[in-house]
Each structure stands twice: as C-alpha cells, then as structure tokens.
Structure 1
Amino acid sequence: MPLNRSVLPHRISTYDLHVFAAIAEAGSITRGAENVHLSLAAASTRLQKMEHALGTALLQRSKHGVKLTDAGRTLLRYAGRLERELEMLHAEMAAFAHGVRSTVRVLCNTAAMTEYLPPLIGRFLVEHQALDIDLRELDSQDVLSAMRQEQADIGIVADYVRTEGLNTRFFREDRLVAVFPTAQCPRQEGSVPFADLLQHPFVGLPSESGLSRFIQNQAIQYGRGIHYRVRVRSLDAVVSLVADEVGIAILPETTARRLASPKIDWLPLADPWANRKLLLCTASDATLAGPAAALLDFLSGSAR
C-alpha cells in the first residue's frame, strides 16, 4: 500500500535510529521496544513517521515478526555508522574533560598504520602525556585530498601520488612482496611480475583499505580483476590464511619478515610501483606549531 507523503516531513533523530536498530536486531517490534524501554505504541509511531519521512517501507511485517526491506538494510548500515561516530565524539569530548590540551590529527596509508607508526606513536605519547593523536587510515590519494583541505596536521603517503602543493619529508622505504604458502612459492630467484600472479586466488584486507585499493588499481592497469577468496581485518590474519594455503597476498616486506614462518615464503615484485617510499606531508602554507611540530620532527627523526 503506497505511503502517504502529504504529511509534514518528520526529522529522523539519532534516537529514532537507535529504536529502529533495536527492532531490527530483535526481529520484532514488541521485543525491540522492550529492549529500549518504549511502549509498543510509541515504537510503532516512530517507525511509521520514519517510513513516511523516507517515502519507503523499512520493514516487512508478519505474524512471525519483522524482516528488513532493502531500504531497511541500508538504513541499518547508516545507523551503525552513526552510532560509532557518536561513540568517537563522546570519547574525544571525554578527553577534553580530563584535561587533554591538544590533539594532533594524522592520516596515513595501510603500511604506515600497521607496520611503522604503532611503536613510534607509543613512544611519543609516553613522552607527551597531555596530548592525544587522532590516527586514521586512508588511501594515499585520499590522504592528499584531506591534507590539501587542511583536514589533518600530518599525512603519510606512498610516493606514487603527486604531492605538489605540500611539504614532504622522507619517512620509510616500503617494498611490496608476493607472499605464498611455502609449497606453492615459485622456485625462482629474483622477483615475480605482478601480472603473473593474477591467475592465483588472493586473500587480503577489506576493499576499502588503502593497500587493497592500491593493488586493485594496479590490476586494472592490466585489464584484469583479482579473485579474493576472503578479506580480513588485519595483516596478521592475511598471513595466517596464506600459511593455511587459502591464497596468496601482496603485503609490505616488513610484514612478511615480521610474521615469517616455515609455512610462508615471499618474492619481491618486479614492477617498479612495488618499490615505494613513504612520505610525511604537511600543508605548505601552514606552519605547524606545538605538539604537531613536535610529532613531525619525531617521525622524520626516526627515519634517520
């Protein structure tokens, strides 16, 4: 039955999304309402107003409970993201309440996030107790875009992107290698062309990760796709799956060495793009001061 759109639009609140998520999780309007301490009538009214505001049904109702429509699944995905963002907001505000005087915003690619920054950031924060670091992973190209809009204090990118308009300093060498189950590693010396690997099944990080996006873009240059048997959240999990002979992977050499075992082996990639440098970036027209300048000097000093 078509929904009536002639009513005054309802502004969907974060509480509406919280109620909707509870109902979706419970599979029942009654149980969902109970879980958020609402009456059945109040929860039903909120749902109806949301559906009118969006112009589409969010739930399929039956005597056995409710199921999400395609629109409902999309809304639930956004509701989850919003709840996570709100949790981050509360955490950051709590830091100010506890007397934290400053936050340095750092954006970086996958290799920097997983391999190089954790021990360095730990040492720096121990020495700077009144400071927080907002550290986030993005694709190198997205890091540059954010830096040009001055959305962060420091960025770390691979040198395949164009950094015109930004100040850069060398941070680390970052060579990518092909990691194989030991029994499947080609018995050859030297390196292996990336194109030769595209016939193999892969394991890797989620598609939105910087490293996955970079590798996918390289495959596109060959007019090929990559068959991922599974994607997981950490490089440690990727290597574990390679060791179990699920597939091969493209990873930083530092990761392969850190997680070396008799069950895996690796070869350098022959392609020039696999031999990368990581660069520290700052906005050219911005003068870093205080904690941000101290962190930049610390990170660039670690490269020496």
Structure 2
Amino acid sequence: MSDHPRAAAYRVLPFDLRLFAAVVEHGSITGAASVMSLSLAAASARLKALEASVAVRLLDRSKAGAAPTPAGRAFARHAERVLAELESLHSAMARFGRGLRGTIRLLCNTAAMADPLPPRLGRFLVDHPDFDVALQEASSDAVLDALRSGRAELGIVADYVDPEGLVSIPWLPDRLVAVVPAKHAVAHRRTVSYTELLAHPMVGLSPESGLSRFLTREAQRGGRTAQHRVRVSGFDAAAQLVAASVGVGVMPERAAERSSGQAVRVVPLSDPWAERQLLICLNEEARRFPGVQALIESLCSA
C-alpha cells in the first residue's frame, strides 16, 4: 500500500495546465476560456476539478477577475516547467518521426563555454542539420558525474579532474590568467600568484560556475577566502568592471585577450594549476550515439 493515499488522486491533464496558465496570464477565467476555446461554464468546472485534484485553492475569484493564491503561484511555476518539458518531448518525437536522429547532450566547463566552443559548435550544427545539441554549463566534476551516469553523451572538462573510466581526448590549452586595472600594483608584473591576488578585492563569476568553484577550492587549500566586490554572468562583463577599477579577476587567457587594452592588463598566474588543458570526455556507450563522433571531429578541427 502506498504511504501517500492521495497520490492516485493527482491526475492533472496538460490541457488543464494550459488553462490555468491562461488564467494567470489574462487575469480572468473569461479571458482564459476564450483563448482555450471553452465556454465560461466549462472552464470554471475544469478549474474547480483541478483544485479538487490537488486539494488546495489555486485561484482567488472576484468580480474583477481571478488571481493565483500563493499555492496557485507555485502551481503556475511547476505548470510552466511541465508544459515546457512536454513541448520538448513532442519536438523530440517529431524529429524521430521524420527520420532524424535526435539530440546530443553536451556539458562543458566555464572556460569551454566562454570562447573556444561556440564557433566550433556552430559549424557542426550548420553541417549537420539532423542533430540538435542540448548545451549546459557545469563544473568539471559535475560533467564527469553526468557522463558516468548516462545523463550526457559528451563533456568538456579541465584536466585537474580525473576522467577514470571514460574516454578522454586532449583538446585545447586552458591557461588561467589574472586581469587587473592598468594602474594596479601588479599590472606590470611578469607573473602573479593567486595568493597575492586574493589580497585585493575581486570581480568574479557566479558562485555556481565551474571556474568559481575551482578557484574557491584553490583559495581554501591555501587557507584563504576571496573578497568579491561583485559577481557577474560572463567574462566580458567581468573585464569591464576590472577596467573600471572595481577589482581584479581570473579568467582563461583567450577570454582575457579580448579585453586587454589601455584599461586592463593581463598578468599570467604563476601557480602550476593555472596551466590547464581542456579534455573532451565521453563514455564508451556514447560512441554508438549518432552524431557524437561527428561532433568530436568538428570540435577538434582547426
């Protein structure tokens, strides 16, 4: 017997999710009924049945219209995700129905996402219209976990992680450098250590990014903590803030070179771990997935 006696009562139809989303969007059951091609009575009956199914009131009804309750707002967020997944499911099945091969799941670390990957990935997608790529950024450790569990076909990681049990292909150098304001104390140094850099205010990426997690671990190994003045979503934004003298940052050399100029200086890091290499990783089973080998070849071409 189930530990959740009401579990069987949760029978929510996709149509009702769309109807509820329409109520939230239009602010009234009447407006939602119109766009869903229902009578007002039929729409109201379906919404009441939906509330009965989840055993909670989802809408506050008034003469002015209908607004979601706190539970309704949570329901709407979940409904949006479910409907997006259903759309993705239908799209994927339609591709199979037309004889297409599907989607390659590709996970990569921050450094790969920032610069070397997009042009090579773009070439693959143009040359292979039968394949889509589901691209997601993750830390190198998380990428390997996804490959080992079968949640991705292909991954790009930095070589500080151990790809044991996976096929790994050396890809590109991934040297980390410091970016500092042109008038900063270390701007004209030949090299600077990360420990020295941590003595200054920092500009960094979001804490969830793979590079941020890597740098946090390196700081902790030295018994230090970075003082971030601000965190941003990309290297270009970080470089602009460094140029404004907000702080110093660390990024891949390729990304830093785009921003080097009168306001920003690039200083190599002296730490051994700053000399990294990117690896393309996959499991043996993924080799049989259509398109994976072609994607690897596109990534490795000049």
The bucket for the TM-score relative to the shorter chain is 0.7 to 0.9
- Match of 2:250, SS? strand
Change (3 A) 1:291 1:235: same
Report the 3-state secondary structure (helix = DSSP H, G, I; strand = E; otherwise coil) of the residue aligned with 1:107: strand
Q: Residue 66 of structure 1: CA displacement?
A: 5.4
Identify the residue that residue 205 of structure 2 maps to in structure 1. 204
CA distance in structure 2 between the aligned counterparts of 1:219 and 1:61, rounded to whole angstroms: 54
Paired residues, number? 296
Is the 1:33–1:40 contact (alpha carbons within 8 Å) kept by the matching residues of 2? yes
1:270-281 aligned at under 5 Å gives the runs: 270-281=270-281
Distance 1:85 1:7 in 2: 21
* % identical aligned pairs: 42
1:112: how far off?
1.7
Partners in 2 of 1:28 and 1:145 — Cα distance? 46
What TM-score comes out, normalization by structure 1 length?
0.74
CA contact (8 A) 2:177 2:274 kept: yes
1:272, distance to aligned residue in structure 2 (A): 4.1
Root-mean-square deviation over aligned CA pairs: 3.9
Question: Which deviations, in whole Å up to 9, do the C-alpha atoms of 1:99-122 show, x marking residues without a partner?
Answer: 534654432222222311222223
Q: Residues 131, 55 of structure 1: CA spacing in aligned structure 2 closer, same or farther, 3 A cutoff?
A: closer
- CA gap of 1:228–1:212, structure 2 versus 1, over 3 A, is farther
Secondary structure of 1:100's aligned partner:
coil
* Helix, strand or coil at the partner of 1:255: helix
Unaligned runs of 5+ in 1: none
8 Å Cα contact 1:170/1:300 also seen in 2: no
> Match of 1:106, SS?
strand
TM normalised by structure 2 equals: 0.74
In structure 2, how many angstroms separate the alpha carbons of the residues matched to 1:192 and 1:200? 15
Q: How does 1:159-198 map to 2 (within 5 A)?
A: 159-182=159-182, 186-189=186-189, 190-193=191-194, 196-197=197-198
Displacement of 1:41 in angstroms is 4.2
1:156 alignment partner, SS class: strand
* Deviation (angstroms), 1:71: 3.8
- The equivalent of 2:143 in structure 1 is 143
Distance 1:69 1:175 in 2: 51
CA deviation string 1:141-189 (max 9, x = no partner) = 2221121123333221112222111121211111233434445574451
> CA 1:185/1:84 → structure 2, altered by over 3 Å: closer, same or farther?
farther
* Superimposed CA distance per residue, residues 171-211 of structure 1 (whole angstroms, 9 cap, x where no aligned partner): 11112334344455744511242574376253535x54433
